[in-house]
Amino acid sequence: MNKTDLLAKLLASENIDIIRAGVSTASFDIVNRVLTLPQWQDMTETIEMMLKAHEIGHALFSPIELLVNDSKTPKSYINVIEDVRIERKVKSIFPGLRKDFVQGYKELNERDFFKIANKDLSKFNLINRINLHFKAGSSCGVTFTKQEMVFVERAKTCDTVSDVIALSNDIYAFSKADYKDKKAEQQEQQMSQDPDDSFEEYENDDSYDDEYNDDSDETESDDYQDPDDSDEESDEFEQDGINTNDFKNEESEESEEKEEEEALEATTQESFDKNLGELADTELTVINHTTDVGSTLHNPIIGFKQVLSDLTEDYRNGVEQGWVRDRNEELKTFKTESNNYVNYLVKEFEMKKSARRYARTTIAKTGGLNVNKLFAHTISDNLFKSISTVTDEKNHGMIFLLDWSGSMTNVMEDTLKQVINLAMFCQRSSIAFQVLAFSSTCEKYANNSEKLNASIQCDDFNLLELFSNKMTTTEFNKMVTLTLARPWRYSRNYRLGNTPLNASLLYMVDYIGKFTRINNVEKTSLVVLTDGVSNRLRSDDRNYGRNGKVLHKLRDTKTKKDYVFPQDAEDQTQLLLKVIKDRYEIPVIGFYISGTNKRQIYNFIYSYMQDVRKDYGDMFTMYEQIRSSVRKTGVFTLETTAYDELYFLPESNNKSTDVELEIKPNASTSGMAREFGKFLGRGKKSLVVLNKFIKLVA
């Protein structure tokens, strides 16, 4: 949506739909409140603003009754007078548009959009001259008689649709009578010529005699028809009840009616619309997609109770058959180590909340004297009692999207530990949360292919609910055990597959609102943990674009914002994140978990830095910056994507880290110093990303 589109919404004083399509003229649907605009070319900003303001006039002042009037007057007459009325009202409410209307119509008239160049305007009918007077202006040379000026003055004062229709009827009746009067005058002038004079001209014309003599032989040929035979044929038609004169009269009447209609047409407006249509790129096929997920889509979320049931059975089978080994000791160690990690997150979160609460605290004087401060009246005027107003804290919520794809194999266990720590943090901070793993391999719940809505398709996908604030402590601990036992190795339905991130994000556009309502959340954060590029969403456009250009657009049906919908998977991800942020105004945080070799870092750059990837030298410079940041802080933060912050997190640093200093009782002074140095380095790296994360979600 460009700035003039947004201005059009403001002028209309309502959140009308504005769509661009492969149409020839702009139009406003006064029933569905939709402004349709062509894909204009060679169009100045002034002209485009004028045309939009004109359509906004219809949005503000043209009622539905205008569409259902039963007047026999041509619609072109009503349209011309209605244009005069709504443009006058728009310019009255928004005086700043007067210049756009004057300049816009002037530019179009100079380009002969009304097709009046080198023509005698006095011969134009009344409705055409009224159209030119109010649009091209009186400077174009149009004039009126005293009788016609009555209609012009009435057009200036039309206030309602009834006034428009009444005036249109009167102008049409006047124009029709005027046309018939002029037609009668022409016929009288023709009849006034002396027929004898005409006969003498033929009689004295030798060429006429020669022509008659030359054709005399032909008249005696076989094609000659005796007048008596003609009379016989005529008698035959009359016996059948058919009079040939009736045919001639009907044809003559039809010809006269057609001639009258053409003479009374509003040709200037037709020419204007036709020329304006030539500026529109009608070869461009615009395919409009929406964020609405169709009702045909099955619910992709597999609830945590179902996941627990499936994994419990598969885990038991795996243990019995030797696929799964006992890892209870490792789990106990992980839970113990996680406590300090989670405690730090909770402490920082509460500190940030307290700081924000203090910043929002307002202090006001009550009007009552504080007697304890009267002694200082000579040095301070702060003698009144005060009251502090503390703004209530917002309820927080968090949704985690976890990449359940094959490329995550090497980092999945460490990533799960990170997610579990964040889930434990949410539990202790009383934050509503949900961990959803996007997967393409749950054959038990697969539908082969998904049609997200009428025009967007994707491969089959599911969202596995691994953790939730709805879980009991027993269910939470059981899920920790089952997920850290690597279910992708022992469960066929939960193995790693493709990366349906984009399908999941499109589903999230509506789902975040449901999550917010169900959990009574006021501030939600979205966290995405992935290691690569999503599968592409496909457009159902096989019948488009074969003979022309195609433009895909995505419309958010809630905010009514339009976005160019890309066909590249990486760009689709960025767009969908922007749609989510525009609708909910929430922080969106990304964790890109990866190795740190050159190829892996270059993949990250190529996926998220479109400007940098154009030049190999820039890519190498960025590669060095990422390596340097990872060595110093353990993380690289990117702030130029649709994410508020995207963290490049090396897999080696993606483990829960104990941030407490531990020194052995019998350690020497040098040993304590050495351990303290290691602690500072380790703590610095592990806490950088945590501090940034907490700052965003708090």
* Contact (CB, 8 A) for 47 and 104: yes
pLDDT at 654: 46
Q: Which of 363, 387, 383, 361 is nearest to 372 (CA)?
A: 383
Q: Which of 635, 653, 655 is nearest to 645 (CA)?
A: 635
Per-residue pLDDT band for 378 (boundaries 50, 70, 90) equals low
Return the number of other C-beta atoms located less than 10 Å from residue 595's C-beta.
Answer: 15
Phi, psi of 465 (to 5 degrees): -80, 100
Q: Are 457 and 504 in contact (CB under 8 A)?
A: no
**Residue 450 reports pLDDT greater than 70:** no
**pLDDT tens track for 6-42:** 777 777 777 777 777 667 777 777 777 777 777 777 7
What is the per-residue pLDDT for 199?
47
Poorest-confidence range of 167-171, 585-589, 633-637, 671-675?
A: 671-675
What CA–CA distances, in Å, run from 74 to 70, 113, 165, 275, 659? 11, 22, 10, 21, 83
**DSSP for residue 121:** G
Place of tokens 């050159």: 598
Q: How far apart are CA 644 and CA 646, in angstroms?
A: 7
The stretches of 279-430 forming alpha helices (DSSP H) are: 304-320, 328-359, 412-428
442 or 44, higher pLDDT: 44
pLDDT at 522: 84
**Given this model, what pLDDT does residue 581 score?**
93
**Would the pLDDT of 683 be above 50?**
no
The predicted structure's pLDDT at residue 447: 55
pLDDT per residue as tens digits for the range 613-626: 888 888 899 999 99
Q: Is the pLDDT of residue 278 over 50?
A: yes
Average pLDDT rounded to a whole number, residues 272-299 = 71
Mean of the pLDDT values across residues 215-231?
48
pLDDT band for position 219 (50/70/90)?
very low
In this prediction, residue 42 carries a pLDDT of: 77
What are 502-540's pLDDT values in tens digits? Answer: 999 989 998 999 999 999 988 889 999 988 788 888 876
* Structure token digits, residue 418: 């990170």
Structural domains of the chain, with CATH: 3-183+267-278 (no CATH), 301-355+393-545+568-697 (3.40.50.410), 363-389 (no CATH)
pLDDT reported for residue 438? 93
Q: How confident is the model at residue 673 (pLDDT cuts 50, 70, 90)?
A: low
Instruction: Evaluate whether 17 touches 34 at the Cβ level (below 8 Å).
Output: yes
- Report in angstroms the alpha-carbon separations of 674 from 119, 658, 679, 680, 685: 98, 17, 9, 10, 17
- Tens of pLDDT, residues 87-132: 999 999 999 899 999 999 999 899 898 999 888 898 899 999 999 9
Match 């009514």 to its residue by tokens: 560
Greater pLDDT, 213 or 409: 409
Question: What pLDDT is recorded for position 140?
Answer: 84
Rounded mean pLDDT, 139-145: 88
Predicted confidence band of residue 195 (pLDDT cuts 50, 70, 90): low
Provide the H-helix boundaries in 360-468.
412-428
Q: How many CB atoms neighbour CB 382 within 10 A?
A: 11
Q: What three-state secondary structure class fits 156?
A: helix
Give the per-residue pLDDT at 290. 75
Grade residue 388 by pLDDT with cuts at 50, 70 and 90: very low
What's the pLDDT tens digit per position in 397-433? 999 999 999 888 888 888 888 888 888 888 888 889 9
pLDDT score for 347: 80
Looking at residue 57, its pLDDT comes to 87
Q: How many CB atoms lie within 10 A of CB 193?
A: 8
Rounded to an integer, the average pLDDT of 604-617 is 84
- Beta strands 523-530 and 396-403 are parallel
pLDDT digits (tens, 9 = 90+) for 560-594: 787 888 888 888 999 999 999 999 999 899 988 88
First to last CA, the chain: 32
Task: Output the six-digit token pair for 333.
Answer: 């160690």
Instruction: Pick the closest to residue 527 from 403, 439, 684 (CA basis).
Output: 403
Which structure tokens are listed for 209?
């005699």
Closest CA to 39 of 239, 365, 283: 283
Burial class of residue 151, CB neighbours in 10 A (0-12, 13-18, 19+): buried
Instruction: Say if CB 265 and CB 440 are below 8 A apart.
Output: no
Distance between CA atoms of 250 and 226, rounded to whole angstroms? 27
Q: Which of 168-182, 186-200, 264-278 has the lowest mean pLDDT?
A: 186-200
d(CA 681, CA 316): 42
What pLDDT digit, counting tens, does each position of 30-74 carry?
777 777 777 777 788 888 888 888 888 888 888 877 766 677 888
Q: Which range has highest mean pLDDT (273-277, 432-436, 458-462, 640-644)?
A: 432-436
Half-sphere exposure of residue 323, counting CA atoms within 13 Å on the CB side?
A: 14
pLDDT number for residue 505:
92
Q: Measured between alpha carbons, how far is 677 from 657 in angstroms, rounded to an integer?
A: 16
- Do residues 174 and 144 make contact, with C-beta atoms less than 8 angstroms apart? no
- Per-residue pLDDT, averaged over 640-649, amounts to 88
pLDDT score at 681 = 46
Classify each residue of 226-251 as buried b or exposed e, where b means 16 or more C-beta atoms within 10 Å of its C-beta: eeeeeeeeeeeeeeeeeeeeeeeeee
Token code pair at residue 83: 């244009």
Cα 73 to Cα 694: distance, rounded to the nearest angstrom: 69
The answer to whether residue 321 scores a pLDDT higher than 60 is yes
From CA 71, how far away is CA 75, in angstroms rounded? 9
**Does 224 have pLDDT greater than 60?**
no
Q: Which residues of 275-298 are buried (b: 16+ CB within 10 A; e: fewer)?
A: ebeebbbeebbbbbbbbbbeeeee
Q: What does the pLDDT read at residue 2?
A: 60
Query: For the chain, what is the mean pLDDT?
Result: 77
pLDDT value for 220 = 45
Say what the pLDDT of residue 393 is: 52
pLDDT tens digits, 495-504:
898 899 999 9
For residue 24, count other CB atoms closer than 10 A to its CB: 15
* Residue 151 confidence class, pLDDT cut points 50, 70, 90: very high
Give 45's contacts (C-beta < 8 A, 6+ positions apart): 4
d(CA 628, CA 636): 9
Higher model confidence: residue 668 or residue 301? 301
661 pLDDT above the threshold of 70: no
